[in-house]
Amino acid sequence: MKRSLPFIIIAAVAVLTAGSGAMLYSSKQRSAAAETDAIGSNGSAMTPEHVRGEKRAPVTLEEFADFQCPACANTALEMIRPLERDYGSRLRVVFWHFPLPNHKHGRDAALAAEAASLQGRFWEMHDMLYRNQLAWSNVDDVHRLFEGYARELHLDVERFKKDFGGAQVSARVDRQQEYGASRGVQNTPTIFINNQVVAPPFSPERLHEAIDAAMPGKQRS
């Protein structure tokens, strides 16, 4: 018995690891399906790909935006960021692409952000594009500039270039834009707070009020 005991222990650990791994996998699959169902209250469910904050935050702020839109840059950097600091774990922020056709490089910027996202740096590219909006908005060829941003963010630039022109990121931008259209989005920025659209113009005070109204207990922090 003593000779076989170590092998019994090893076999038991192997079975336990495989079993608990399988259980964890199926539970994660179930919760992913539940999340998708929860978002799709309007019938066109879509799992957000760009999320900041706690999954179980009581308030979710969704922004449909175009990187070439100055108001989007202002809203994202000057309003939403401070709101995240103010509300902490009680506010979750979701970004959706909605590049407008009248913005020459809006779609290219969205593609750049998605290509960065494939390397785990969506939000860094998001900030980079907004901060440098004036620099790239009026040039003819944005590719070189975007590759420079990718290099600054320590991305694999060759992969970034390949992804930028690839079908995958293009489809991701299209899906998000179609999703916005299905929710009635026409302009940017469009903001939803807990699925309720917030009427523009936006200001920090207006967004605070809308978040406070949606917050259970209705307190800022």
Partner 1 sequence: MDSHARDPLARTRVIVNAITAVVALAGLADATYLTVAHLAGDNSVCGPSQPCSIVLGSTYAQIVGIPTAAFGVLAYFSAFSAATLAAFGYARARTFLIVIVAAMFAFTLWLLYLQAYVLHAFCPFCLLSAAFTFCLAGLTLATPPAR
**In the complex, which residues of this chain contact partner 1 (CB under 8 A)?**
2, 5-6, 9-10, 13-14, 17, 20-21, 24-25, 28-29, 32, 51-55, 89, 119-121, 123, 154, 156, 159
Q: Burial, 128: exposed, middle or buried (Cβ in 10 Å; 0-12, 13-18, 19+)?
A: buried
Q: Which is nearer to partner 1, 89 or 138 (CB)?
A: 89
Q: Which is nearer to partner 1, 141 or 156 (CB)?
A: 156
Q: Which is nearer to partner 1, 69 or 118 (CB)?
A: 118
* Total length of the chain: 221
Minimum distance, C-beta of residue 200 to partner 1, in the bound complex (Å): 28
CA distances from 115 to 5, 141, 169, 200 (A): 52, 17, 6, 30
Minimum distance, C-beta of residue 53 to partner 1, in the bound complex (Å): 6
Q: Which is nearer to partner 1, 80 or 142 (CB)?
A: 80
Identify which of 190, 125, 194, 187 has the alpha carbon closest to the alpha carbon of residue 154.
125
Minimum distance, C-beta of residue 30 to partner 1, in the bound complex (Å): 10
Q: Which is nearer to partner 1, 17 or 182 (CB)?
A: 17
Minimum distance, C-beta of residue 7 to partner 1, in the bound complex (Å): 8
Q: Which is nearer to partner 1, 37 or 54 (CB)?
A: 54
